[in-house]
């Protein structure tokens, strides 16, 4: 597909919007019960587990705000996580590799939660020829009680909830998998070498450490944007353009902006090296197009690869998912709504018209499911992994706990599979986390309801 074709798609958007009707979604489902809260509906005492917010591709955590002022969760005008803290919730937001694989990001999250040195695994590091250990977070545990699970036999069990946006969705699933099942390959490698294996990889775990996962536009089955960029040779330009759009190359080129956490690959930013020069060096490295980075993990074609397909849902964990929608579907194609972020509009139209006979999974779902999208992720991918999902419609823009409960199905959400709460209409991939919101509070209600949902589950 050429740039001229993408331009034609952009122009055609205005014509389509003149005749297209908004897709259904976002309206309050009819009342299905008389419960006044989710706890009452589910006969639950609820829980107060800490909640871990996991950012997506090119994202950042709370310890390292973009340019010192921009929150990933809320932008420059607000911190959505502070709003949740004011409501009494314990929430943390680790900073993980912006371009790293889900495996590496899960290892980095675990190290920050437990206050330990990042351990990427002996087997994994040997296989991909990089250092086993990364950043040392000793003494800086984000959730000290969770760290005690793996250091004291007498410690009370502390579980966590995980909320992941974009690539944070499959990263959360990877972390939940490792915390439930460990890694036999890592255990075997450590035993053979006579070294201590990280608790993340223990295979004899008897507890459920992740109570729930909530994925916001999770890329569970990849995004055809990645496959298109790979086929067209546009991955490098995509990464550079997105980084440049966020930092403003002309006047911010020399600031120490992102910590890409690629030191274990020998790709640290050098003292005095501009970020753009550093990024150029990263993009020219053998690592950039290897099978241990985000661009590999986000490809639809790679979802069947053994590096990704081994991940399972934990049977003791409750999974939720939701999808953003910023396109209108008509006559077999989806084109961007006029409110779509200008950077995402070409990608929304690309996904909405994309065909690739080599991606057989595209035939698994309806054309609408693969073409309706939020500007980067298709509905089918956001609903859950290939292993499946079930509908669990909720009005996530409810004004209070009672309204949320009344919108819920009467049954308790099923553990071990993704419960799809529905589509967030007219919200694109970036707007979902309020990154460019000029008016604070536009997303607060949704985030409040995510916490109502997670904290209402049985402990």
Question: In which domain, by residue range, is 23 found?
Answer: 3-221+312-325+376-453
What per-residue confidence (pLDDT) applies to 32? 53
- Of the pLDDT bands very low, low, confident and very high (cuts 50, 70, 90), residue 257 is low
Report CA Rg, the chain.
Answer: 21
- Residue 144: CATH number of its domain: 3.40.50.1820
What per-residue confidence (pLDDT) applies to 14? 34
The stretch 135-156 carries a mean pLDDT of 91
Q: What is the DSSP string of 116-183?
A: -EEE--HHHHHHHTS-SEEEE-TT--SSHHHHHTTT-TTPPP--EEEEEETTHHHHHHHHHHHHHH--
Question: Other CB atoms closer than 10 Å to residue 129's CB: what's the count?
Answer: 12
Please check whether residue 63 lies inside any domain of the structure.
yes
pLDDT at 409 over 60: yes
What per-residue confidence (pLDDT) applies to 144? 94
Number of domains in the chain: 1
Please check whether residue 344 lies inside any domain of the structure.
no
How would you classify residue 212: left for phi > 0, otherwise alpha for psi between -120 and 50, otherwise beta? beta
Span of 99-103, 282-286, 322-326, 359-363 with lowest mean pLDDT: 359-363
E strand or H helix that includes residue 389: strand 389-391
What per-residue confidence (pLDDT) applies to 25? 38
pLDDT at 331 over 80: yes
What per-residue confidence (pLDDT) applies to 301? 95
Please check whether residue 393 lies inside any domain of the structure.
yes
- Of the pLDDT bands very low, low, confident and very high (cuts 50, 70, 90), residue 310 is very high
The better pLDDT of the pair 253, 429 is held by 429
Strands 327-330 and 333-336: antiparallel
CB 159 within 8 A of CB 208: yes
Among residues of the chain, what percentage have pLDDT more than 90? 76
What per-residue confidence (pLDDT) applies to 246? 64
Q: At what angle do helices 345-353 and 224-232 cross, to 10 degrees?
A: 90
Strands 117-119 and 133-136: antiparallel
Report d(CA 166, CA 64) in Å as an integer.
19
**Per-residue pLDDT tens over the stretch 343-363:** 999 999 999 999 888 888 888
Please check whether residue 286 lies inside any domain of the structure.
no
The better pLDDT of the pair 234, 310 is held by 310
User: Based on the number of CB atoms within 10 Å of its own CB, is 276 exposed (0-12), middle (13-18) or buried (19 or more)?
Assistant: middle
Span of 112-126, 251-265, 396-410 with lowest mean pLDDT: 251-265
Please check whether residue 26 lies inside any domain of the structure.
yes
Q: What is the DSSP-derived secondary structure letter of residue 264?
A: G
pLDDT at 13 over 60: no
What per-residue confidence (pLDDT) applies to 388? 86
E strand or H helix that includes residue 210: strand 210-216
Please check whether residue 366 lies inside any domain of the structure.
no
The stretch 304-329 carries a mean pLDDT of 97
- Of the pLDDT bands very low, low, confident and very high (cuts 50, 70, 90), residue 256 is low
What per-residue confidence (pLDDT) applies to 20? 35
Strands 160-165 and 210-216: parallel
What per-residue confidence (pLDDT) applies to 40? 96
The stretch 403-432 carries a mean pLDDT of 96
**Per-residue pLDDT tens over the stretch 187-212:** 999 999 999 999 999 999 999 999 99
Report d(CA 155, CA 262) in Å as an integer.
34
Please check whether residue 236 lies inside any domain of the structure.
no
- Of the pLDDT bands very low, low, confident and very high (cuts 50, 70, 90), residue 373 is very high
Span of 19-33, 146-160, 184-198, 232-246 with lowest mean pLDDT: 19-33
CB 119 within 8 A of CB 107: yes
User: Based on the number of CB atoms within 10 Å of its own CB, is 331 exposed (0-12), middle (13-18) or buried (19 or more)?
Assistant: exposed
pLDDT at 255 over 90: no
Alpha helices in 200-274 (DSSP H): 224-232, 235-247, 249-252
What per-residue confidence (pLDDT) applies to 2? 39
**Per-residue pLDDT tens over the stretch 59-88:** 999 988 887 788 999 999 999 999 999 999
What is the rounded average pLDDT for all residues in the chain? 89
Please check whether residue 189 lies inside any domain of the structure.
yes
What per-residue confidence (pLDDT) applies to 274? 82
Coil, helix or strand at residue 74: coil
What per-residue confidence (pLDDT) applies to 251? 43
Q: What is the dihedral of CA 82, 87, 89, 93, to 10 degrees?
A: -20
Angle formed at CA 240 by CA 236 and CA 245, multiple of 5 degrees: 150
What CA–CA distances, in Å, run from 449 to 36, 75, 159, 246, 412? 14, 20, 20, 29, 17
Residue of 451, 398, 432 whose CA lies nearest to 35: 398
């Amino acid at each position: 597909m050429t740039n001229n074709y993408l331009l034609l798609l952009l122009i055609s958007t205005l014509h389509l919007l003149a005749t297209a009707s908004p897709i259904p979604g976002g309206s309050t489902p009819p009342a299905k019960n008389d419960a006044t809260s989710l706890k009452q509906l589910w006969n639950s005492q609820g829980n107060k587990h800490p909640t871990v917010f996991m950012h997506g591709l090119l994202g950042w955590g709370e310890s390292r705000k973009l340019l010192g002022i921009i929150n990933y969760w809320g932008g420059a005008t607000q911190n959505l996580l502070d709003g949740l803290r004011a409501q009494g919730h314990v929430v943390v937001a680790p900073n993980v590799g912006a371009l790293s694989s889900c495996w590496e990001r899960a290892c980095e999250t675990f190290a920050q939660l437990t206050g330990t040195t990042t351990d990427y695994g002996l087997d994994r590091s040997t296989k991909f020829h990089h250092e086993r250990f990364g950043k040392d977070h000793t003494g800086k545990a984000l959730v000290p009680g969770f760290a005690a699970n793996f250091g004291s036999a007498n410690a009370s069990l502390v579980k966590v909830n995980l909320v992941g946006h974009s690539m944070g969705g499959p990263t959360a699933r990877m972390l939940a998998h490792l915390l439930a099942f460990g890694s036999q390959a890592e255990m075997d490698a450590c035993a053979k070498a006579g070294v201590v294996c990280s608790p993340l990889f223990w295979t004899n775990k008897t507890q459920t450490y992740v109570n729930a996962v909530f994925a916001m536009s999770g890329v569970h089955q990849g995004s055809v944007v990645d496959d298109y960029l790979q086929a067209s040779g546009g991955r490098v330009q995509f990464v550079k353009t997105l980084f440049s759009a966020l930092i403003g190359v002309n006047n911010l080129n020399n600031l120490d902006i992102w910590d890409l956490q690629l030191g274990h690959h020998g790709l640290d930013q050098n003292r005095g090296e501009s970020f753009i020069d550093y990024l150029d060096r990263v993009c020219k490295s053998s690592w950039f197009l290897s099978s241990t980075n985000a661009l590999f993990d986000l490809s639809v074609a790679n979802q069947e690869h053994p590096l990704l397909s081994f991940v399972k849902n934990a049977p003791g964990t409750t999974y939720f998912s939701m999808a953003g929608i910023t396109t209108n579907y008509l006559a077999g194609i989806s084109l961007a709504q006029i409110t779509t972020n200008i950077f995402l509009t070409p990608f929304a139209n690309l996904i909405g018209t994309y065909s690739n006979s080599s991606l057989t999974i595209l035939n698994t779902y309806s054309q609408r499911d693969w073409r309706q999208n939020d500007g980067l992720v298709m509905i089918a991918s956001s609903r859950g992994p290939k292993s499946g999902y079930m509908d669990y419609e909720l009005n996530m823009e409810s004004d209070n706990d009672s309204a949320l409960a009344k919108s819920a199905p009467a049954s308790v959400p099923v553990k071990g599979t993704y419960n799809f709460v529905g589509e967030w209409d007219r919200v694109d991939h970036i707007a979902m986390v309020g990154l460019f919101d000029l008016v604070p509070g536009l997303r607060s209600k949704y985030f409040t309801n995510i916490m109502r949902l997670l904290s209402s589950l049985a402990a």
